[in-house]
Amino acid sequence: MKLFLLIPLLYLITCGSDSEKLNQVIIDDPQPQTEPVSEVIIIAPVLLKMPKGAVKANFNADKIPFYAHVKSVNKRKGITTIAFEENKAPALVLNDTYGATVSMLRFDEFDRDLLLVNSKIKDPQFHKYYLYILKKGYWLPVVKPFSIHESHVNASLKPIVVDPKNSDYMFRYYSVFDIDETSDLGYTWRLFNESVGIINE
């Protein structure tokens, strides 16, 4: 009789133990670990500021433009130096000049942009122009330098372009001193133009 009472009691104890073990397993089940999210810092690219009066162009025909600017002017010696971004081209040193401005010219007839220098010379009434092309690391003149009187220089005047009648020539303007009795000064400056052969292209 005692044996019959003992068996159900053992059964209850055994079942209770399994149930506790089962509950224990569920409670102790580790929670999935998540990695902390790293903070992403985006650094904006540094934009280099071009010097005042600089002009950016594709001087090398490689679609990677760089700028040209007047680096220094020595008025005592009459020397103007034009430099280029990160020395990507050799500096231009112009003698007998007392300052300058630089600009870029683009023509379909050339595979790269041209550098036009509008320089100040000893006679402040004149602008002397230099037109260059960069070839194999050297600045070469496209045509010989030419001068235009200040009375002829204005925003609409294009000092030099490719000759529309002959692409092997450049069409440029220049000023000429002329005796003029009708003028109070007795002379005047006249604006002429001419077509000149391209020296380097």
Q: What is the DSSP string of 43-96?
A: PPPPPPPPPTT-EEE-TTSSS--EEEEEEEEETTTTEEEEEEGGGSSPPEEEET
Asked if the structure places residue 49 within a domain, the reply is no
pLDDT reported for residue 141: 97
The tally of domains found in the chain comes to 1
CA dist 58 → 17, 80, 115, 136, 169 (Å): 85, 23, 10, 14, 22
Q: What are phi and psi of 111, to 5 degrees?
A: -85, 5
pLDDT reported for residue 43: 56
Q: Which domain holds residue 160?
A: 55-197
Q: H or E element: which one contains 24? A: helix 2-27
Asked if the structure places residue 2 within a domain, the reply is no
Asked if the structure places residue 26 within a domain, the reply is no
Asked if the structure places residue 109 within a domain, the reply is yes
pLDDT reported for residue 21: 46
Asked if the structure places residue 22 within a domain, the reply is no
- SS3 category, 4: helix
Sites in the chain below the pLDDT cut of 70: 1-48, 179-187
Q: What six digits make up the tokens of 166? A: 């002959």
CA dist 147 → 110, 118, 140 (Å): 23, 9, 18
Asked if the structure places residue 153 within a domain, the reply is yes
Asked if the structure places residue 141 within a domain, the reply is yes
Asked if the structure places residue 44 within a domain, the reply is no
Whole-structure pTM value: 0.73
